Chains A and B, each alone.
Chain A
Amino acid sequence: MLNVEGLTKEFGGVVAVNDLSFEVREKQIKSIIGPNGAGKTTLFNLLTGLLPPSRGRISFLDTNICGLRPHVIARMGVSRSFQNVEIFDNMSILENVMLGRHCRTSCGAVSIALRRRKAVKEEALIREEALRQIEAVGLDADPHSSPAALPFGKRRLVEFARALATSPRLLLLDEPASGLNMRETEQVAQLIRKIRDSGVTVMLVEHDMSVVMEISDDVLVMDYGTKIAEGKPREVQKNREVIARYLGRSNEYAKNPKP
């Protein structure tokens, strides 16, 4: 469903993503791993239109999305979470998630200002769907409260729920397990699986190898903006270059790949 060909992004003289090509198939979980500064987050920013690529082609569902603005790409069905959790602290949890429905709803200012029946109905549907997503990600917090006071792990769940509320076809998760404890990490891993099983394709940038190796269908390893390996988790773990450049020889996933 996602086809990337020769994607390149240069910042001045620095090549953050260098002639990268890969494919993501429908309903799989594809992980992007690699050392810090390998260009993983830049890749996500290119895929979601937050950065314009220098060269290359990104096609999503057979449409070239290169150069499209982020809100258009979101409307096409690509949603994401951010490494540092970008939720809106000036809104309640529920409103955060309701915002996710924005691109799936269409009532204009006039019908909203006049409270036409269409607008009232749509607002009720938005609320219903948002509450459903809050429940789906397992967030137990008062939806009318501010997310500012939530612990980090729950803030991340708010972001997940918001992304899911956009009804994405492809969901990009940027380090969903960073900053989480082991129990929370396990919950997130299960949640990602559940999301995939519901029919959403997932791309994942993650440093926690237990998560990556456990849930990925496919792993792409990047370093210095280029692809150094791609394949099933087990294959990648055995790859010499990946071990040398990223996993390290002492890594348990490098030594004894899990069955």
Chain B
Amino acid sequence: MKKHVPLALFVVIVMGLPVLLKNPYYIGALVFVGIYSLITISLSLVLGYAGQISLGHAAFYGIGAYTSGLLTTRWHVSPWFALACSMVITGILAYAIGKPVLKLRGHYLAMATLGLGEIVYIFFNSAVDLTAGPSGFGQIPRLAIGGLVFKDDIRFYYLVWFTVAVLLALVLNIINSRIGRALRSIHGSETAANAMGVNTASYKIQIFVFSAVISAVAGGYYAHFVTFISPTTFDANTSILLVTMVIVGGMSNVWGAVLGAALLGTLPEYLRRFGDYDILVYGAIMMVIMMFAPGGLVSLAGLVKQKFVGNLSREPAA
């Protein structure tokens, strides 16, 4: 089964990385890459496949984190149940918001989702009684399965990346199916998609809610991993970072979402040697990528594969 090769390779790399990386600090960084990957994979379905921009995904990430964090610290709900609750609540909110907002297109949708992110961010800051305001709150309990508590970086690393692998497996099945084609048809021409029998409005809301729910999982993981949350983690910069990860990685491919999260999630660590100039180098790297690989990092991988394996389009995609 040729199509399973990339996923198998991915699992091997994920399993092997902690063995190669001796420095525990890097493992912690990779946990965040995994958390980001969850969001970028699901966001790439919205952005790259269905062609709907969202500049407010940090809101769902934040709602997931706050719901899970608050339920466990204030009401002492078990972490897994809290995580499930945060998925449900975020899903309901995303549906309520997406229903009217997804009727907008292009720039208008971008503005509306940006506004959504701001509202949620302001809420985290202002509802001090509930969220503890700008200072945030801590002592969020860790996730555990039986006696296995995900308390150190390496354990959490495996939990997060296992989740990423499962998500990838499911999403890869979806994108090469009637549903994946329906999503891409919305991107290609919504009018034609409609006329061919695709309920575009319904697919747009479904994929939006799906990605919001996955973002909530990522938020919950964040809360239970860091055990402290405050609003700044979920501001507009994060929303934009997430979209940038998807675009730099390659919008039209879910692997690009992982590559983008991996690059932009770890780049600041490499750039420390540049001291105060790190942000300049960061910006320059992004510009170079977008100039020479407008299709994102994954398009470079495509070129390499074409060179060594031969033309992709020739192989029967069975």
Listed stretches A104-112, A235-243, A250-258; interface member: A104-112
* Chain B window 65-78, contacts with chain A (Cβ cutoff 8 Å), 1 for yes, 0 for no: 00000000000000
- Complex CA–CA separation, A18 to B196 (angstroms): 27
Given A90-B252, A107-B178, A113-B173, are A102 and B192 also a contact pair (CB < 8 Å)?
no
Given A107-B177, A112-B174, A142-B313, are A90 and B195 also a contact pair (CB < 8 Å)?
no
- Whether B237 is near chain A, meaning CB under 8 Å from some CB there, is no
Q: Of the candidates B170, B196, B252, which one forms a contact with A102 in the assembled complex, judged by CB atoms under 8 Å apart?
A: B196
- Say yes or no: B170 contacts A113, CB within 8 Å: yes
Given A105-B178, A112-B173, are A88 and B197 also a contact pair (CB < 8 Å)?
no
**In this complex, what residue of B is CB-closest to A107?**
B178
- Say yes or no: B196 contacts A103, CB within 8 Å: yes
- Complex CA–CA separation, A71 to B192 (angstroms): 10
- Whether A155 is near chain B, meaning CB under 8 Å from some CB there, is no
**In this complex, what residue of B is CB-closest to A91?**
B184
Q: Of the candidates A50, A92, A115, A119, which one forms a contact with B195 in the assembled complex, judged by CB atoms under 8 Å apart?
A: A50
- Whether B135 is near chain A, meaning CB under 8 Å from some CB there, is no
- Say yes or no: A88 contacts B195, CB within 8 Å: no
- Complex CA–CA separation, A158 to B206 (angstroms): 28
- Complex CA–CA separation, A142 to B252 (angstroms): 21
**In this complex, what residue of A is CB-closest to B201?**
A69
- Say yes or no: B188 contacts A91, CB within 8 Å: yes
- Say yes or no: B188 contacts A88, CB within 8 Å: yes
Q: How far is the CB of A185 from chain B (nearest CB, A)?
A: 23
- Say yes or no: B196 contacts A166, CB within 8 Å: yes
- Say yes or no: B185 contacts A99, CB within 8 Å: yes
- Say yes or no: A74 contacts B188, CB within 8 Å: no
Interface of B is mostly: helix
- Complex CA–CA separation, A92 to B188 (angstroms): 12
- Whether A210 is near chain B, meaning CB under 8 Å from some CB there, is no
Q: Of the candidates A69, A90, A115, A122, which one forms a contact with B184 in the assembled complex, judged by CB atoms under 8 Å apart?
A: A90
Count chain B residues whose beta carbon lies closer than 8 angstroms to a beta carbon of A. 31
- Say yes or no: B195 contacts A112, CB within 8 Å: no
Q: Restricting to B156-193, which residues have a CB under 8 Å from any CB of A?
A: 170-171, 173-174, 176-179, 181-182, 184-185, 187-189, 191-193
Q: Restricting to A70-114, which residues have a CB under 8 Å from any CB of B?
A: 70-71, 74-75, 79-80, 82, 86-92, 95, 98-103, 105, 107, 109, 112-114
Count chain A residues whose beta carbon lies closer than 8 angstroms to a beta carbon of B. 42
- Whether B317 is near chain A, meaning CB under 8 Å from some CB there, is yes
Given A90-B252, A91-B184, A112-B177, are A99 and B198 also a contact pair (CB < 8 Å)?
yes
- Say yes or no: B173 contacts A100, CB within 8 Å: no
- Say yes or no: B181 contacts A98, CB within 8 Å: yes
- Whether A183 is near chain B, meaning CB under 8 Å from some CB there, is no
- Whether B139 is near chain A, meaning CB under 8 Å from some CB there, is no
- Say yes or no: B197 contacts A71, CB within 8 Å: yes
- Whether B238 is near chain A, meaning CB under 8 Å from some CB there, is no
- Say yes or no: B181 contacts A99, CB within 8 Å: yes
Q: How far is the CB of A76 from chain B (nearest CB, A)?
A: 9
- Whether B199 is near chain A, meaning CB under 8 Å from some CB there, is yes
- Whether B306 is near chain A, meaning CB under 8 Å from some CB there, is no
- Say yes or no: A145 contacts B313, CB within 8 Å: yes
Chain A residues in 8 Å Cβ range of B176: 123
- Whether A126 is near chain B, meaning CB under 8 Å from some CB there, is yes
- Say yes or no: A109 contacts B188, CB within 8 Å: no
- Whether A48 is near chain B, meaning CB under 8 Å from some CB there, is yes
**In this complex, what residue of A is CB-closest to B197?**
A103
- Whether B126 is near chain A, meaning CB under 8 Å from some CB there, is no
- Whether A30 is near chain B, meaning CB under 8 Å from some CB there, is no
Chain B residues in 8 Å Cβ range of A144: 313-314, 316-317
> Of A75, A91, A92, which is in contact with the most chain B CB atoms at under 10 Å from its CB?
A91
Q: Restricting to B303-318, which residues have a CB under 8 Å from any CB of A?
A: 313-314, 316-317
Chain A residues in 8 Å Cβ range of B179: 109, 112
- Whether A162 is near chain B, meaning CB under 8 Å from some CB there, is yes
Q: How far is the CB of A69 from chain B (nearest CB, A)?
A: 8
**In this complex, what residue of A is CB-closest to B251?**
A90
**In this complex, what residue of B is CB-closest to A74?**
B197
- Complex CA–CA separation, A83 to B184 (angstroms): 21
- Complex CA–CA separation, A5 to B98 (angstroms): 38
- Say yes or no: B177 contacts A88, CB within 8 Å: no
Q: Of the candidates B173, B187, B199, B314, which one forms a contact with A71 in the assembled complex, judged by CB atoms under 8 Å apart?
A: B199
- Say yes or no: A50 contacts B178, CB within 8 Å: no
- Say yes or no: A95 contacts B181, CB within 8 Å: yes
- Say yes or no: B188 contacts A90, CB within 8 Å: yes
Chain B residues in 8 Å Cβ range of A122: 178
Name A residues whose Cβ lies closer than 8 Å to a Cβ of B.
48-50, 69-71, 74-75, 79-80, 82, 86-92, 95, 98-103, 105, 107, 109, 112-115, 119, 122-123, 126, 142, 144-145, 162-163, 166
Between-chain CB contacts (< 8 Å), 22 pairs: A69-B194, A74-B194, A82-B192, A87-B188, A87-B189, A87-B192, A88-B188, A88-B193, A89-B188, A90-B184, A90-B187, A90-B188, A99-B198, A102-B181, A109-B174, A112-B173, A112-B174, A112-B177, A112-B178, A113-B170, A113-B173, A162-B196
User: Top 4 closest A-B pairs, CB basis?
Assistant: A103-B197, A88-B188, A74-B197, A86-B192
- Known contacts A91-B185, A95-B181; 6 further A-B pairs (Cβ under 8 A): A48-B195, A74-B194, A90-B252, A112-B173, A113-B171, A144-B313
